Amino acid sequence: MKLVLLGAPGAGKGTQATKIAETLNIPHISTGDIFRKNLKEGTPVGLKAKAYIDKGQLVPDEVTNEIVELRLKEDDCKNGYLLDGFPRNIGQAEALEKMDAPDKVINLDVDLKALADRLTGRRVCAKCGESYHISTKKDNVCTRCGGELIQRADDTLETVNKRLTVYEQSTAPLIEYYEKKGKLVHIDGMKSIDGVFAEIEKALR
Ligand code: AP5
């Protein structure tokens, strides 16, 4: 199955993607994670992406599209893929149609007010990337691997607000784009993490 997870920053794409990829045995491809890995390794792509990520802006399409195109050619994508955070604008969606069009697109619907709280309260493991929220995680140690929990540089209130504006302007139009193609499934992203996953499982059956 070839799947795209759509949703605003903080909608829960990464959280659900881990579960879906495990269940369907398809690779979870997050462009945000790829950029952050490149940044950690100090590659030219990582350094270029940093300038945009820190400002809450989109990394230019030519950089992002090439990364995804190369990734989709890898062996583990033969039985499908789960894209998280790509496409993020109409240009990227058109590019994906040419690379390897998705079968289904899942849109996580979440109230705007909840998004800012989720993002500014998010803490991620510096070692394995697992995501937590300060309302439920009271210590600073990753339950999965023991790594230290940190705040992402782009999860400050100022940058979160910029990311939400970019979402409204560039990414939200993809909802109509995929609705017109008859590929979009709406999921209520305001439920609990397990509740959202149960809805996704039902939609994929
Ligand atoms: P990226 O890393 O993709 O960030 P994002 O889309 O802004 O999404 P997030 O990872 O912040 O949120 P999420 O929806 O995955 O939510 P999560 O599951 O973590 O991109 C970062 C940057 O990279 C972009 O700004 C851009 O610069 C660049 N970039 C990436 N892709 C690009 C592209 N295609 N083109 C150009 N540039 C690109 O959950 C958030 C929090 O909520 C967590 O704390 C979690 O525990 C909690 N939570 C999750 N689900 C629930 C729930 N159901 N109830 C309560 N809490 C929940």
Checking 123-132 for CB contacts under 8 A at 24+ apart, the result is: 123/149, 123/150, 123/151, 124/149, 124/150, 124/151, 124/152, 125/149, 125/150, 126/150, 129/33, 131/14, 131/15
Q: Catalytic site residue 13?
A: yes
Residue whose Cα lies nearest atom 43 of ligand 1: it is: 122
Residue 109 CA to its chain's centroid (Å): 14
Q: What separation in Å is there between the alpha carbon of 8 and the centre of ligand 1?
A: 7
pLDDT at 66: 96
pLDDT at 162: 97
pLDDT at 69: 97
Residues with CB under 6 A from ligand 1: 7, 9-15, 30-32, 35, 52-53, 56-59, 64, 85-86, 88, 92, 118-119, 122, 131-133, 154, 163, 192-193, 196
Distance CA 7, CA 49 (A): 21
Q: Catalytic site residue 88?
A: yes
Q: Catalytic site residue 122?
A: yes
pLDDT at 65: 98
Which DSSP symbol is given to 189? Answer: T
Q: Catalytic site residue 123?
A: no
pLDDT at 105: 98
pLDDT at 113: 87
Q: pLDDT digit of tens for each residue in the chain (205 aa)?
A: 999 999 999 999 999 999 999 999 999 999 999 999 999 999 999 999 999 999 999 999 999 999 999 999 999 999 999 999 999 999 999 999 999 999 999 999 999 889 999 999 999 999 998 889 999 999 999 999 999 999 999 999 999 999 999 999 999 999 999 999 999 999 999 999 999 999 999 999 8
The identity of residue 25, as a single letter, is: N
pLDDT at 112: 86
Question: The tokens of 195 are what?
Answer: 């509740």
Residue whose Cα lies nearest atom 48 of ligand 1: it is: 12
